[in-house]
Structure 1
Amino acid sequence: MDDLASLRRTHGPVTRGRLVGDLTALGLTDGDIVMFHTRMSAIGYVAGGPQSIIDALGEVVGDRGTLMVTCGWNDAPPYGFTDWPQAWQDAVRAEHPAYDPELSEADHGFGRLPEALRRRPGAVRSRHPDASFAALGAAATALMADHPWDDPHGPGSPLAKLVTLGGRVLLLGAPLDTLTLLHHAEALAVAPGKRFVDYEQPIRFGGQRVWRRFRDIDSEHGAFDYSSVVSEGQDPFEAMIEDMLAAGIGRRGQVGAAGSYLFEADDVVRFGVRWIESRLGAAP
Protein backbone atom coordinates (compact mmCIF):
# COMPACT_ATOMS: atom_id res chain seq x y z
CA MET A 1 0.00 0.00 0.00
CA ASP A 2 1.43 3.42 -0.91
CA ASP A 3 1.90 6.12 1.72
CA LEU A 4 -1.09 8.23 0.62
CA ALA A 5 -3.47 5.27 0.74
CA SER A 6 -2.12 4.33 4.17
CA LEU A 7 -2.60 7.91 5.42
CA ARG A 8 -6.21 7.96 4.21
CA ARG A 9 -6.94 4.61 5.82
CA THR A 10 -5.68 5.77 9.20
CA HIS A 11 -6.97 9.37 9.01
CA GLY A 12 -3.43 10.70 8.91
CA PRO A 13 0.01 9.64 10.13
CA VAL A 14 0.17 7.30 13.11
CA THR A 15 2.50 9.24 15.39
CA ARG A 16 4.15 8.25 18.64
CA GLY A 17 1.61 10.31 20.56
CA ARG A 18 -1.30 8.59 18.83
CA LEU A 19 0.23 5.18 19.51
CA VAL A 20 0.60 6.05 23.19
CA GLY A 21 -3.06 7.06 23.38
CA ASP A 22 -4.30 3.97 21.55
CA LEU A 23 -2.14 1.59 23.58
CA THR A 24 -3.29 3.18 26.83
CA ALA A 25 -6.92 2.89 25.75
CA LEU A 26 -6.35 -0.81 24.99
CA GLY A 27 -5.24 -1.31 28.60
CA LEU A 28 -1.44 -1.30 28.51
CA THR A 29 -0.12 0.54 31.54
CA ASP A 30 2.89 1.65 33.57
CA GLY A 31 4.99 -1.23 34.91
CA ASP A 32 3.68 -3.82 32.45
CA ILE A 33 5.91 -6.61 31.20
CA VAL A 34 4.61 -7.15 27.68
CA MET A 35 5.60 -9.45 24.84
CA PHE A 36 4.41 -7.95 21.59
CA HIS A 37 3.86 -9.07 18.01
CA THR A 38 3.40 -6.46 15.31
CA ARG A 39 2.29 -6.19 11.70
CA MET A 40 3.25 -2.64 10.79
CA SER A 41 1.31 -2.59 7.53
CA ALA A 42 -1.92 -3.10 9.47
CA ILE A 43 -1.31 -0.05 11.65
CA GLY A 44 -1.03 2.38 8.76
CA TYR A 45 1.68 4.91 8.02
CA VAL A 46 3.73 5.00 11.21
CA ALA A 47 5.75 8.20 11.35
CA GLY A 48 9.21 7.00 12.33
CA GLY A 49 8.57 3.31 11.73
CA PRO A 50 9.68 0.65 14.23
CA GLN A 51 11.51 3.12 16.44
CA SER A 52 8.30 5.09 17.03
CA ILE A 53 6.45 1.92 17.98
CA ILE A 54 9.16 0.89 20.45
CA ASP A 55 9.32 4.41 21.86
CA ALA A 56 5.55 4.51 22.32
CA LEU A 57 5.44 1.10 24.00
CA GLY A 58 8.33 2.13 26.24
CA GLU A 59 6.59 5.35 27.19
CA VAL A 60 3.41 3.51 28.18
CA VAL A 61 5.10 0.81 30.29
CA GLY A 62 7.59 3.29 31.76
CA ASP A 63 10.89 2.69 33.50
CA ARG A 64 9.41 -0.09 35.63
CA GLY A 65 8.08 -1.95 32.60
CA THR A 66 9.67 -4.29 30.06
CA LEU A 67 9.21 -5.02 26.37
CA MET A 68 9.84 -8.51 24.98
CA VAL A 69 9.95 -10.00 21.47
CA THR A 70 10.68 -13.35 19.88
CA CYS A 71 13.79 -13.27 17.71
CA GLY A 72 15.01 -16.67 16.56
CA TRP A 73 18.11 -16.57 14.34
CA ASN A 74 17.74 -15.55 10.71
CA ASP A 75 20.93 -17.24 9.51
CA ALA A 76 20.77 -20.44 11.51
CA PRO A 77 21.79 -23.54 9.57
CA PRO A 78 18.66 -25.41 8.46
CA TYR A 79 17.62 -28.42 10.51
CA GLY A 80 18.06 -30.64 7.48
CA PHE A 81 21.63 -29.70 6.61
CA THR A 82 22.69 -33.10 7.99
CA ASP A 83 21.06 -34.65 4.92
CA TRP A 84 23.22 -32.65 2.51
CA PRO A 85 26.20 -34.17 0.67
CA GLN A 86 29.04 -34.82 3.09
CA ALA A 87 31.31 -32.18 1.55
CA TRP A 88 28.60 -29.54 2.04
CA GLN A 89 28.06 -30.61 5.65
CA ASP A 90 31.79 -30.46 6.30
CA ALA A 91 31.98 -26.92 4.90
CA VAL A 92 29.10 -25.73 7.11
CA ARG A 93 30.51 -27.40 10.20
CA ALA A 94 33.93 -25.89 9.56
CA GLU A 95 32.95 -22.30 8.92
CA HIS A 96 29.36 -21.45 9.83
CA PRO A 97 29.55 -18.61 12.40
CA ALA A 98 28.40 -19.41 15.90
CA TYR A 99 25.24 -17.81 17.19
CA ASP A 100 26.04 -14.47 18.80
CA PRO A 101 23.25 -12.82 20.86
CA GLU A 102 24.64 -9.37 20.03
CA LEU A 103 25.30 -9.84 16.30
CA SER A 104 23.08 -12.60 14.93
CA GLU A 105 20.05 -11.07 13.22
CA ALA A 106 16.53 -11.84 14.35
CA ASP A 107 14.47 -13.93 11.96
CA HIS A 108 13.29 -11.59 9.20
CA GLY A 109 10.03 -13.52 9.06
CA PHE A 110 9.07 -12.00 12.41
CA GLY A 111 9.03 -8.51 10.91
CA ARG A 112 11.11 -5.43 11.62
CA LEU A 113 10.35 -4.91 15.30
CA PRO A 114 12.33 -7.80 16.87
CA GLU A 115 15.54 -6.75 15.12
CA ALA A 116 14.93 -3.10 15.99
CA LEU A 117 14.33 -3.87 19.66
CA ARG A 118 17.27 -6.26 20.11
CA ARG A 119 19.61 -3.56 18.74
CA ARG A 120 18.48 -1.03 21.34
CA PRO A 121 21.06 -0.02 23.95
CA GLY A 122 20.35 -2.00 27.09
CA ALA A 123 18.43 -4.79 25.32
CA VAL A 124 19.16 -8.33 26.52
CA ARG A 125 18.91 -11.39 24.26
CA SER A 126 18.66 -14.97 25.43
CA ARG A 127 21.40 -17.50 24.75
CA HIS A 128 19.40 -20.06 22.79
CA PRO A 129 20.24 -19.85 19.06
CA ASP A 130 17.06 -21.18 17.49
CA ALA A 131 14.45 -19.97 19.99
CA SER A 132 16.02 -16.74 21.16
CA PHE A 133 14.05 -13.86 22.64
CA ALA A 134 15.04 -10.30 23.48
CA ALA A 135 13.83 -7.86 26.10
CA LEU A 136 14.33 -4.23 27.04
CA GLY A 137 13.52 -2.79 30.43
CA ALA A 138 13.55 -3.49 34.15
CA ALA A 139 12.92 -7.25 33.95
CA ALA A 140 14.96 -7.91 30.80
CA THR A 141 17.84 -9.74 32.48
CA ALA A 142 15.53 -11.85 34.63
CA LEU A 143 13.45 -12.88 31.62
CA MET A 144 16.40 -13.80 29.40
CA ALA A 145 18.71 -15.49 31.93
CA ASP A 146 19.66 -19.16 31.57
CA HIS A 147 17.39 -19.96 28.64
CA PRO A 148 17.29 -23.80 28.66
CA TRP A 149 19.21 -25.39 25.80
CA ASP A 150 16.61 -28.16 25.48
CA ASP A 151 12.84 -27.66 25.66
CA PRO A 152 13.43 -23.91 25.10
CA HIS A 153 9.68 -23.16 25.03
CA GLY A 154 9.04 -25.05 28.27
CA PRO A 155 9.77 -24.59 31.99
CA GLY A 156 12.49 -22.06 32.74
CA SER A 157 12.18 -20.42 29.33
CA PRO A 158 11.60 -16.69 28.79
CA LEU A 159 7.98 -17.61 28.03
CA ALA A 160 7.62 -19.39 31.37
CA LYS A 161 9.17 -16.41 33.15
CA LEU A 162 6.79 -14.04 31.36
CA VAL A 163 3.92 -15.96 32.95
CA THR A 164 5.57 -16.14 36.39
CA LEU A 165 6.24 -12.39 36.41
CA GLY A 166 2.63 -11.55 35.57
CA GLY A 167 3.36 -10.50 32.01
CA ARG A 168 1.00 -9.72 29.16
CA VAL A 169 0.91 -10.33 25.40
CA LEU A 170 0.03 -7.71 22.81
CA LEU A 171 -0.99 -8.47 19.23
CA LEU A 172 -0.45 -5.12 17.54
CA GLY A 173 -2.17 -5.69 14.20
CA ALA A 174 -0.53 -9.12 14.06
CA PRO A 175 -2.50 -12.22 13.02
CA LEU A 176 -3.84 -14.41 15.81
CA ASP A 177 -1.61 -17.29 14.81
CA THR A 178 1.54 -15.33 15.68
CA LEU A 179 0.99 -15.60 19.43
CA THR A 180 4.25 -17.36 20.34
CA LEU A 181 3.26 -17.88 23.97
CA LEU A 182 0.99 -20.74 22.87
CA HIS A 183 4.16 -22.74 22.15
CA HIS A 184 4.67 -22.70 25.92
CA ALA A 185 1.19 -24.17 26.31
CA GLU A 186 2.14 -26.87 23.79
CA ALA A 187 5.32 -27.61 25.71
CA LEU A 188 3.35 -28.04 28.95
CA ALA A 189 0.31 -29.89 27.58
CA VAL A 190 0.05 -33.62 28.22
CA ALA A 191 -1.56 -35.20 25.16
CA PRO A 192 -0.74 -38.09 22.81
CA GLY A 193 1.36 -37.65 19.71
CA LYS A 194 3.48 -34.70 20.81
CA ARG A 195 6.05 -34.03 18.11
CA PHE A 196 9.67 -33.04 18.66
CA VAL A 197 12.63 -31.97 16.57
CA ASP A 198 16.33 -32.62 17.12
CA TYR A 199 18.86 -30.41 15.40
CA GLU A 200 22.41 -29.08 15.61
CA GLN A 201 23.62 -25.48 15.65
CA PRO A 202 26.94 -23.75 16.42
CA ILE A 203 27.23 -21.70 19.62
CA ARG A 204 29.97 -20.13 21.73
CA PHE A 205 30.57 -22.15 24.87
CA GLY A 206 33.50 -21.83 27.25
CA GLY A 207 35.12 -19.38 24.85
CA GLN A 208 35.02 -21.91 22.01
CA ARG A 209 32.85 -22.35 18.92
CA VAL A 210 31.12 -25.70 19.33
CA TRP A 211 28.28 -27.57 17.66
CA ARG A 212 25.53 -28.54 20.06
CA ARG A 213 22.53 -30.78 19.62
CA PHE A 214 19.15 -29.39 20.70
CA ARG A 215 15.70 -30.88 21.30
CA ASP A 216 12.43 -28.96 21.20
CA ILE A 217 8.76 -29.32 20.38
CA ASP A 218 8.12 -28.98 16.66
CA SER A 219 7.14 -25.32 16.67
CA GLU A 220 7.38 -25.05 12.89
CA HIS A 221 4.91 -27.76 11.83
CA GLY A 222 3.00 -28.00 15.11
CA ALA A 223 3.70 -29.84 18.33
CA PHE A 224 0.54 -31.87 17.75
CA ASP A 225 -1.58 -33.00 14.82
CA TYR A 226 -4.57 -30.66 15.14
CA SER A 227 -6.25 -31.71 11.90
CA SER A 228 -9.08 -33.51 13.69
CA VAL A 229 -10.02 -30.57 15.92
CA VAL A 230 -9.79 -27.50 13.65
CA SER A 231 -11.50 -26.57 10.39
CA GLU A 232 -9.68 -27.38 7.18
CA GLY A 233 -7.09 -24.72 6.48
CA GLN A 234 -7.48 -23.08 9.90
CA ASP A 235 -4.39 -22.49 12.00
CA PRO A 236 -4.74 -24.17 15.42
CA PHE A 237 -3.42 -21.12 17.28
CA GLU A 238 -6.03 -19.00 15.53
CA ALA A 239 -8.72 -21.47 16.61
CA MET A 240 -7.48 -21.42 20.22
CA ILE A 241 -7.46 -17.64 20.39
CA GLU A 242 -10.89 -17.28 18.80
CA ASP A 243 -12.23 -19.64 21.46
CA MET A 244 -10.33 -17.69 24.11
CA LEU A 245 -11.88 -14.41 22.98
CA ALA A 246 -15.32 -16.01 22.85
CA ALA A 247 -14.80 -17.07 26.48
CA GLY A 248 -14.22 -13.43 27.41
CA ILE A 249 -10.46 -13.67 27.79
CA GLY A 250 -8.48 -10.74 26.42
CA ARG A 251 -9.16 -7.15 25.42
CA ARG A 252 -9.80 -5.85 21.90
CA GLY A 253 -9.06 -2.41 20.59
CA GLN A 254 -7.58 -0.46 17.74
CA VAL A 255 -4.08 0.93 17.46
CA GLY A 256 -3.83 3.16 14.44
CA ALA A 257 -5.86 1.24 11.86
CA ALA A 258 -4.96 -2.13 13.34
CA GLY A 259 -7.30 -4.40 15.23
CA SER A 260 -5.26 -5.30 18.31
CA TYR A 261 -5.53 -7.60 21.33
CA LEU A 262 -4.10 -7.60 24.84
CA PHE A 263 -3.97 -10.80 26.90
CA GLU A 264 -2.74 -11.80 30.34
CA ALA A 265 0.05 -14.32 29.76
CA ASP A 266 -1.17 -16.67 32.48
CA ASP A 267 -4.68 -16.73 30.97
CA VAL A 268 -3.26 -17.63 27.54
CA VAL A 269 -1.23 -20.55 28.83
CA ARG A 270 -3.93 -21.93 31.11
CA PHE A 271 -6.53 -21.77 28.36
CA GLY A 272 -4.13 -23.19 25.76
CA VAL A 273 -3.19 -26.20 27.88
CA ARG A 274 -6.86 -26.96 28.67
CA TRP A 275 -7.83 -26.54 25.01
CA ILE A 276 -5.13 -28.93 23.78
CA GLU A 277 -5.70 -31.58 26.45
CA SER A 278 -9.49 -31.50 26.22
CA ARG A 279 -9.55 -31.82 22.44
CA LEU A 280 -6.64 -34.17 21.88
CA GLY A 281 -7.06 -36.22 25.04
CA ALA A 282 -4.66 -36.70 27.92
CA ALA A 283 -1.64 -38.87 27.15
CA PRO A 284 -1.74 -42.35 28.71
Structure 2
Amino acid sequence: MPTAACLTADLRALGVGNAMTLLVHASLRSVGPVPGGGPAVLRALRGALGPGGTVVVPTFTEGNSLTSRTYVRMTQGLTRSQLLSYRENMEPFSAASTPSDGMGRLAEEVRAAPGAVRSTHPQTSFAALGPRAAGITAGHALDCLLGERSPLGRLYEEGAYVLLLGVGFETCSAFHLAEYRQPGAVRRRYDCRVMTDDGPRWMGFVDVDLDDSDFGALGSWLESGASGGRGPVARGRIGAADSRLFPLRWAVDTAADWMAAGRTAPRSLPAEADRA
Protein backbone atom coordinates (compact mmCIF):
# COMPACT_ATOMS: atom_id res chain seq x y z
CA MET A 1 0.00 0.00 0.00
CA PRO A 2 1.72 3.23 -1.14
CA THR A 3 2.17 6.08 1.32
CA ALA A 4 2.04 9.76 0.44
CA ALA A 5 5.85 9.77 0.41
CA CYS A 6 5.87 6.87 -2.07
CA LEU A 7 3.43 8.71 -4.32
CA THR A 8 5.58 11.84 -4.18
CA ALA A 9 8.56 9.75 -5.30
CA ASP A 10 6.48 8.27 -8.13
CA LEU A 11 5.38 11.74 -9.24
CA ARG A 12 8.94 13.02 -9.30
CA ALA A 13 10.08 9.96 -11.24
CA LEU A 14 7.42 10.73 -13.83
CA GLY A 15 8.70 14.29 -14.17
CA VAL A 16 6.62 16.41 -11.78
CA GLY A 17 9.03 19.03 -10.45
CA ASN A 18 9.41 21.98 -8.12
CA ALA A 19 7.39 25.11 -8.91
CA MET A 20 5.50 23.42 -11.76
CA THR A 21 1.90 24.43 -12.52
CA LEU A 22 -0.03 21.20 -12.94
CA LEU A 23 -3.53 20.57 -14.30
CA VAL A 24 -4.61 17.24 -12.82
CA HIS A 25 -7.31 14.81 -13.90
CA ALA A 26 -7.35 11.87 -11.50
CA SER A 27 -8.98 8.60 -10.52
CA LEU A 28 -8.03 7.80 -6.95
CA ARG A 29 -9.54 4.35 -7.34
CA SER A 30 -6.88 3.64 -9.96
CA VAL A 31 -4.13 4.73 -7.57
CA GLY A 32 -5.22 2.06 -5.11
CA PRO A 33 -5.61 2.21 -1.33
CA VAL A 34 -3.51 4.95 0.25
CA PRO A 35 -3.29 5.54 4.01
CA GLY A 36 -5.08 8.83 4.55
CA GLY A 37 -7.08 8.62 1.31
CA GLY A 38 -7.64 11.69 -0.84
CA PRO A 39 -5.94 14.16 1.51
CA ALA A 40 -2.79 12.04 1.40
CA VAL A 41 -2.80 12.03 -2.42
CA LEU A 42 -3.14 15.80 -2.42
CA ARG A 43 -0.23 16.05 0.05
CA ALA A 44 1.82 13.87 -2.28
CA LEU A 45 1.08 16.16 -5.23
CA ARG A 46 1.94 19.27 -3.28
CA GLY A 47 5.08 17.62 -1.98
CA ALA A 48 6.25 16.86 -5.51
CA LEU A 49 5.46 20.42 -6.63
CA GLY A 50 7.08 22.10 -3.64
CA PRO A 51 5.95 25.43 -2.14
CA GLY A 52 6.33 27.21 -5.49
CA GLY A 53 4.06 24.80 -7.35
CA THR A 54 0.37 25.14 -8.13
CA VAL A 55 -2.13 22.30 -8.55
CA VAL A 56 -5.25 22.94 -10.65
CA VAL A 57 -8.30 20.70 -11.08
CA PRO A 58 -11.56 20.96 -13.05
CA THR A 59 -14.57 21.40 -10.75
CA PHE A 60 -17.26 21.32 -13.42
CA THR A 61 -20.98 21.30 -12.59
CA GLU A 62 -23.87 20.18 -14.81
CA GLY A 63 -26.80 19.93 -12.40
CA ASN A 64 -27.62 23.65 -12.68
CA SER A 65 -27.84 23.70 -16.47
CA LEU A 66 -30.75 23.51 -18.92
CA THR A 67 -28.39 22.58 -21.74
CA SER A 68 -26.36 19.71 -20.30
CA ARG A 69 -26.38 15.96 -20.75
CA THR A 70 -27.42 15.66 -17.10
CA TYR A 71 -30.49 17.82 -17.71
CA VAL A 72 -31.51 15.84 -20.80
CA ARG A 73 -31.12 12.56 -18.91
CA MET A 74 -33.00 13.69 -15.81
CA THR A 75 -35.95 15.26 -17.64
CA GLN A 76 -36.69 12.60 -20.25
CA GLY A 77 -40.37 11.70 -20.16
CA LEU A 78 -41.45 14.45 -17.76
CA THR A 79 -44.75 16.22 -18.30
CA ARG A 80 -44.75 19.99 -18.74
CA SER A 81 -45.76 20.58 -15.11
CA GLN A 82 -43.10 18.14 -13.88
CA LEU A 83 -40.52 19.86 -16.05
CA LEU A 84 -41.42 23.29 -14.66
CA SER A 85 -41.19 21.92 -11.11
CA TYR A 86 -37.81 20.35 -11.84
CA ARG A 87 -36.46 23.65 -13.16
CA GLU A 88 -37.78 25.65 -10.21
CA ASN A 89 -36.02 23.30 -7.79
CA MET A 90 -32.65 23.10 -9.54
CA GLU A 91 -29.82 24.13 -7.22
CA PRO A 92 -28.17 27.36 -8.38
CA PHE A 93 -24.39 27.41 -8.74
CA SER A 94 -22.33 29.02 -5.99
CA ALA A 95 -18.55 29.05 -6.45
CA ALA A 96 -18.14 28.98 -2.67
CA SER A 97 -20.21 25.89 -1.97
CA THR A 98 -21.42 23.91 -5.00
CA PRO A 99 -19.61 20.55 -5.24
CA SER A 100 -18.13 19.49 -8.55
CA ASP A 101 -20.02 16.85 -10.51
CA GLY A 102 -18.26 13.72 -11.77
CA MET A 103 -14.76 15.19 -11.40
CA GLY A 104 -13.57 12.71 -8.77
CA ARG A 105 -12.47 12.84 -5.15
CA LEU A 106 -9.20 14.66 -5.77
CA ALA A 107 -11.01 17.57 -7.41
CA GLU A 108 -13.17 17.88 -4.30
CA GLU A 109 -10.12 17.68 -2.04
CA VAL A 110 -8.58 20.63 -3.87
CA ARG A 111 -11.82 22.62 -4.03
CA ALA A 112 -12.44 22.28 -0.29
CA ALA A 113 -8.83 22.72 0.85
CA PRO A 114 -7.90 25.75 2.96
CA GLY A 115 -6.50 28.45 0.70
CA ALA A 116 -8.04 27.04 -2.48
CA VAL A 117 -9.36 29.48 -5.10
CA ARG A 118 -12.11 28.63 -7.59
CA SER A 119 -13.12 30.33 -10.81
CA THR A 120 -16.71 31.52 -10.94
CA HIS A 121 -18.03 29.97 -14.14
CA PRO A 122 -21.33 28.20 -13.30
CA GLN A 123 -20.57 25.19 -15.50
CA THR A 124 -16.83 24.83 -16.09
CA SER A 125 -15.07 26.19 -13.00
CA PHE A 126 -11.54 25.23 -11.96
CA ALA A 127 -10.07 25.17 -8.45
CA ALA A 128 -6.42 25.75 -7.65
CA LEU A 129 -3.95 25.67 -4.75
CA GLY A 130 -0.60 27.41 -4.78
CA PRO A 131 1.03 30.77 -5.51
CA ARG A 132 -0.44 31.04 -9.03
CA ALA A 133 -3.95 29.94 -8.06
CA ALA A 134 -5.56 33.39 -7.94
CA GLY A 135 -4.18 34.50 -11.29
CA ILE A 136 -5.17 31.26 -13.01
CA THR A 137 -8.76 31.27 -11.76
CA ALA A 138 -9.48 35.02 -12.11
CA GLY A 139 -11.54 36.49 -14.92
CA HIS A 140 -13.33 33.34 -16.11
CA ALA A 141 -15.79 34.87 -18.57
CA LEU A 142 -19.37 33.55 -18.64
CA ASP A 143 -19.33 33.20 -22.44
CA CYS A 144 -16.01 31.34 -22.46
CA LEU A 145 -16.48 27.88 -21.00
CA LEU A 146 -13.00 26.54 -21.80
CA GLY A 147 -11.36 29.05 -24.12
CA GLU A 148 -8.82 31.85 -23.94
CA ARG A 149 -10.71 33.73 -21.20
CA SER A 150 -10.91 30.67 -18.96
CA PRO A 151 -8.31 29.13 -16.65
CA LEU A 152 -7.19 26.98 -19.59
CA GLY A 153 -6.02 30.15 -21.32
CA ARG A 154 -4.04 31.13 -18.23
CA LEU A 155 -2.56 27.64 -17.94
CA TYR A 156 -1.44 27.83 -21.56
CA GLU A 157 0.29 31.15 -20.86
CA GLU A 158 1.88 29.74 -17.69
CA GLY A 159 3.49 26.83 -19.52
CA ALA A 160 1.59 24.37 -17.32
CA TYR A 161 1.73 20.60 -17.52
CA VAL A 162 -1.13 18.10 -17.62
CA LEU A 163 -1.14 15.06 -15.34
CA LEU A 164 -3.54 12.24 -16.24
CA LEU A 165 -3.45 10.25 -13.01
CA GLY A 166 -5.07 6.91 -13.67
CA VAL A 167 -7.35 8.29 -16.39
CA GLY A 168 -7.18 8.41 -20.18
CA PHE A 169 -6.98 11.22 -22.70
CA GLU A 170 -10.79 11.18 -22.86
CA THR A 171 -10.82 13.35 -19.74
CA CYS A 172 -8.22 15.89 -20.91
CA SER A 173 -10.02 19.23 -20.69
CA ALA A 174 -7.02 21.06 -22.21
CA PHE A 175 -8.03 19.73 -25.64
CA HIS A 176 -11.11 21.97 -25.50
CA LEU A 177 -8.87 25.02 -25.81
CA ALA A 178 -7.87 23.69 -29.23
CA GLU A 179 -11.56 23.67 -30.22
CA TYR A 180 -11.75 27.41 -29.63
CA ARG A 181 -8.89 27.93 -32.06
CA GLN A 182 -10.70 26.31 -34.99
CA PRO A 183 -11.92 28.77 -37.65
CA GLY A 184 -15.71 28.77 -37.81
CA ALA A 185 -16.16 26.72 -34.63
CA VAL A 186 -19.83 25.79 -34.19
CA ARG A 187 -21.54 27.81 -31.46
CA ARG A 188 -24.67 27.17 -29.43
CA ARG A 189 -26.72 28.59 -26.57
CA TYR A 190 -26.16 27.55 -22.95
CA ASP A 191 -28.46 28.26 -19.98
CA CYS A 192 -27.73 27.79 -16.30
CA ARG A 193 -29.02 28.73 -12.85
CA VAL A 194 -26.71 30.83 -10.69
CA MET A 195 -26.86 32.17 -7.13
CA THR A 196 -26.44 35.96 -7.04
CA ASP A 197 -26.64 38.59 -4.30
CA ASP A 198 -30.30 38.97 -5.29
CA GLY A 199 -31.01 35.24 -5.14
CA PRO A 200 -31.16 32.55 -7.84
CA ARG A 201 -31.39 33.68 -11.46
CA TRP A 202 -31.07 32.19 -14.92
CA MET A 203 -28.17 33.19 -17.15
CA GLY A 204 -27.86 32.46 -20.85
CA PHE A 205 -24.91 32.83 -23.20
CA VAL A 206 -23.62 31.65 -26.57
CA ASP A 207 -20.31 29.82 -26.82
CA VAL A 208 -18.47 27.06 -28.67
CA ASP A 209 -20.32 23.74 -28.96
CA LEU A 210 -17.92 21.55 -26.99
CA ASP A 211 -17.31 17.97 -28.07
CA ASP A 212 -15.05 15.49 -26.27
CA SER A 213 -16.22 12.39 -28.16
CA ASP A 214 -12.94 11.97 -30.07
CA PHE A 215 -10.49 12.95 -27.33
CA GLY A 216 -9.46 9.32 -26.86
CA ALA A 217 -8.48 9.01 -30.52
CA LEU A 218 -6.75 12.38 -30.39
CA GLY A 219 -4.75 11.32 -27.34
CA SER A 220 -3.68 8.05 -28.93
CA TRP A 221 -2.41 9.99 -31.94
CA LEU A 222 -0.57 12.46 -29.73
CA GLU A 223 1.13 9.62 -27.90
CA SER A 224 2.03 7.43 -30.86
CA GLY A 225 1.59 9.40 -34.07
CA ALA A 226 2.58 12.99 -33.33
CA SER A 227 6.29 13.64 -33.92
CA GLY A 228 6.68 10.03 -35.04
CA GLY A 229 5.82 8.78 -31.57
CA ARG A 230 8.58 10.87 -30.03
CA GLY A 231 6.37 13.51 -28.45
CA PRO A 232 6.92 14.74 -24.89
CA VAL A 233 4.44 12.38 -23.19
CA ALA A 234 6.01 10.76 -20.12
CA ARG A 235 4.29 7.60 -18.92
CA GLY A 236 4.64 5.75 -15.63
CA ARG A 237 2.84 4.53 -12.54
CA ILE A 238 1.69 6.61 -9.61
CA GLY A 239 0.87 3.96 -7.04
CA ALA A 240 -1.08 1.46 -9.15
CA ALA A 241 -2.33 4.09 -11.61
CA ASP A 242 -1.06 4.19 -15.19
CA SER A 243 -0.35 7.91 -15.62
CA ARG A 244 0.85 10.44 -18.18
CA LEU A 245 2.54 13.83 -17.91
CA PHE A 246 2.92 16.26 -20.81
CA PRO A 247 3.14 20.00 -21.57
CA LEU A 248 -0.28 21.61 -21.90
CA ARG A 249 0.88 24.10 -24.55
CA TRP A 250 2.26 21.32 -26.76
CA ALA A 251 -0.95 19.30 -26.34
CA VAL A 252 -3.19 22.23 -27.28
CA ASP A 253 -1.09 23.31 -30.28
CA THR A 254 -0.80 19.77 -31.64
CA ALA A 255 -4.48 19.04 -30.99
CA ALA A 256 -5.45 22.20 -32.88
CA ASP A 257 -3.49 20.98 -35.91
CA TRP A 258 -5.11 17.54 -35.66
CA MET A 259 -8.60 19.05 -35.50
CA ALA A 260 -7.94 21.39 -38.42
CA ALA A 261 -6.63 18.51 -40.54
CA GLY A 262 -9.81 16.48 -40.52
CA ARG A 263 -11.99 16.48 -37.45
CA THR A 264 -15.65 15.91 -38.22
CA ALA A 265 -18.29 18.45 -37.14
CA PRO A 266 -18.83 18.62 -33.37
CA ARG A 267 -21.61 16.48 -31.96
CA SER A 268 -24.52 18.49 -30.62
CA LEU A 269 -26.81 17.66 -27.72
CA PRO A 270 -30.38 16.71 -28.58
CA ALA A 271 -32.33 19.67 -29.89
CA GLU A 272 -34.66 19.70 -26.90
CA ALA A 273 -31.76 20.79 -24.69
CA ASP A 274 -31.30 23.98 -26.68
CA ARG A 275 -35.01 24.72 -26.59
CA ALA A 276 -35.25 24.16 -22.83
Could you state the TM-score of these two structures normalised by the residue count of structure 2?
A: 0.84
Match of 1:97 among 86, 91, 97: 91
**Counterparts in 2 of 1:14-25, with a 5 A limit?**
14-25=2-13
C-alpha change, 1:197 and 1:49, in structure 2 (3 Å) is farther
User: Is residue 220 of structure 2 the alignment partner of residue 242 of structure 1?
Assistant: yes
Indicate the RMSD between aligned Cα atoms, in angstroms: 2.3
| Contact 2:64/2:91 (<8 A) preserved | no
1: CA distance between counterparts of 2:50 and 2:58? Answer: 21
| Contact 1:153/1:216 (<8 A) preserved | no
**Counterparts in 2 of 1:54-73, with a 5 A limit?**
54-73=42-61
Q: Residue 201 of structure 1 aligns to which amino acid in structure 2?
A: C
1:33 equivalent in structure 2: 21
User: Is residue 175 of structure 2 the alignment partner of residue 182 of structure 1?
Assistant: yes
Count of aligned pairs between the two proteins: 254
User: Is residue 111 of structure 2 the alignment partner of residue 118 of structure 1?
Assistant: yes
1: CA distance between counterparts of 2:172 and 2:21? Answer: 16
User: Is residue 121 of structure 2 the alignment partner of residue 128 of structure 1?
Assistant: yes
2:133 equivalent in structure 1: 140
| Contact 2:61/2:124 (<8 A) preserved | yes
Match of 2:240 among 241, 257, 271: 257
2:64 equivalent in structure 1: 76
Q: Residue 24 of structure 1 aligns to which amino acid in structure 2?
A: R
1: CA distance between counterparts of 2:44 and 2:232? Answer: 25
Deviation at residue 133 of structure 1 after TM alignment: 1.1
Unaligned runs of 5+ in 1: 1-12, 224-234
Deviation at residue 176 of structure 1 after TM alignment: 1.9
2: CA distance between counterparts of 1:214 and 1:50? Answer: 35
User: Is residue 184 of structure 2 the alignment partner of residue 201 of structure 1?
Assistant: no
2: CA distance between counterparts of 1:93 and 1:35? Answer: 33
1: CA distance between counterparts of 2:47 and 2:199? Answer: 40
2:268 equivalent in structure 1: none
1: CA distance between counterparts of 2:198 and 2:20? Answer: 36
| Contact 2:65/2:123 (<8 A) preserved | no
% identical equivalent positions: 31
2:255 equivalent in structure 1: 272
Deviation at residue 85 of structure 1 after TM alignment: 4.5
3-state SS in 1 of match to 2:202? strand
Unaligned runs of 5+ in 2: 265-276
Could you state the TM-score of these two structures normalised by the residue count of structure 1?
A: 0.82
